[in-house]
Amino acid sequence: MTRAKAESVNFMAPFTVLRRPDLGKRLARRLVRELSRDFSLEQLDFPLLERDISDSLAMPSAIKSITKATDVLDLAWICTPPSPGSGGHTTLFRMVHGMEKRGHRCTILLYNRHGSDPQKYISLIRQYWPELSANIAVVPDQIIGYHACVASSWETAHVLAARGAAISRRLYFVQDYEPYFYPRGSMYALAEDTYRFGFQHIALGNMTTALLRREAGVTPVTVPFGCDVDTYKLENHGHRNGIAFFARPETDRRGYLTARLALKEFNFRHPEQLITVYGDRVSDLDFPHHHAGHLSPLELNRLYNRCLAGLAMSYTNISLVAEEMLASGARVVVNASSLASVDATNSHIIWGPPTPTGIASALSTAVCSPLSNTERTNMARSVRKGWQHTQDLVATAIEATCREGQTEVESMKGSP
Tell me the pLDDT tens digit for each residue of 250-281: 899 999 999 999 999 999 999 999 999 999 88
**Between the CA of residue 37 and those of 30, 52, 185, 264, 346, what are the distances in Å?**
11, 24, 19, 36, 48
Whether 73 has a pLDDT exceeding 80, the answer reads yes
In a domain, residue 372? The reply is yes
Report the SS3 class of residue 225.
coil
Amino acid, res. 360 = A
C-alpha closest to that of 382 among 394, 374, 372, 390: 374
CATH of the domain at 264: 3.40.50.2000
Whether 408 has a pLDDT exceeding 50, the answer reads no
**Between the CA of residue 91 and those of 96, 186, 205, 227, what are the distances in Å?**
9, 28, 12, 10
pLDDT at 28: 62
What's the rounded mean pLDDT across residues 221-226?
97
CATH of the domain at 132: 3.40.50.11090
Tell me the pLDDT tens digit for each residue of 171-222: 999 999 999 999 999 999 999 999 999 999 999 999 999 999 999 999 999 9
> Quick one: CA torsion of 18, 22, 24, 27, rounded to 10 degrees?
-160
β-pair type (243-247, 275-279): parallel
Do 315 and 376 sit in the same domain of this protein? Answer: yes
Decide if 408 contacts 68 (C-beta within 8 A): no
Do 210 and 294 sit in the same domain of this protein? Answer: no
Decide if 359 contacts 259 (C-beta within 8 A): yes
**pTM of the prediction?**
0.86
Do 294 and 399 sit in the same domain of this protein? Answer: no
Top-ranked range on mean pLDDT: pick from 1-15, 56-70, 109-123: 109-123
Name the residue range of residue 128's domain: 51-226+390-403
Do 306 and 220 sit in the same domain of this protein? Answer: no
Do 158 and 302 sit in the same domain of this protein? Answer: no
In a domain, residue 7? The reply is no
Amino acid, res. 58 = A
In a domain, residue 38? The reply is no
CB neighbour list of residue 156: distance below 8 Å, 6 or more residues apart: 78, 79, 80, 111
In a domain, residue 46? The reply is no
C-alpha closest to that of 132 among 98, 172, 156: 98
Domain count, the chain: 2
Do 219 and 70 sit in the same domain of this protein? Answer: yes
Whether 32 has a pLDDT exceeding 70, the answer reads no
Whether 163 has a pLDDT exceeding 60, the answer reads yes
Phi-psi region of 85 (alpha: psi -120 to 50; beta: other; left: phi over 0): left
Residue 42 gets which letter from DSSP? Answer: G
What mean pLDDT value characterizes the chain? Answer: 88
Whether 25 has a pLDDT exceeding 90, the answer reads no
Q: How many CB atoms lie within 10 A of CB 328?
A: 29
Decide if 298 contacts 275 (C-beta within 8 A): no
Do 304 and 193 sit in the same domain of this protein? Answer: no
Do 125 and 197 sit in the same domain of this protein? Answer: yes
Whether 4 has a pLDDT exceeding 80, the answer reads no
In a domain, residue 163? The reply is yes
In a domain, residue 29? The reply is no
As beta bridge partners, residue 105 has 74
Separation of alpha carbons 155 and 78, rounded Å: 10
Do 67 and 214 sit in the same domain of this protein? Answer: yes
Do 282 and 160 sit in the same domain of this protein? Answer: no
Do 185 and 250 sit in the same domain of this protein? Answer: no
